[in-house]
Amino acid sequence: MDDITIEELKQRMDAGEKLNLIDVRELYEYEDYNIGAILIPLATLPTKLDELESLKNEEIIIYCRSGARSRNAKMFLLDSGFNNVRNLLGGMLAWREKY
């Protein structure tokens, strides 16, 4: 699945689309700035798969600070049977720089 740009995500958010957003940063990063995703730090993701089971066939957009942790999370979820996982390119660094 292709990754998603900050521009595409912003456009979809502004249109009011229901999105499944997961932030894989740490709590202190999330508290500093977030865009409304659920927080599942990367280290805890393997223990949260049951909670995400209902999203296996839905689009999930994952982000972190720069896109590196979320890229790892995307690969983990794809390997775990999730079908439509997209990484936010540039992460919150790019988002905050533009928006």
- Residues classed as catalytic: 64
Strands 84-87 and 59-63: parallel
Neighbours of 60 (CB within 10 A): 21
The DSSP bridge partners found for residue 23 are 39, 63
Q: Sign of dihedral through CA atoms 83, 15, 38, 95?
A: positive
Helix (H) or strand (E) holding 31: helix 27-32
Question: Residue 76, SS3?
Answer: helix
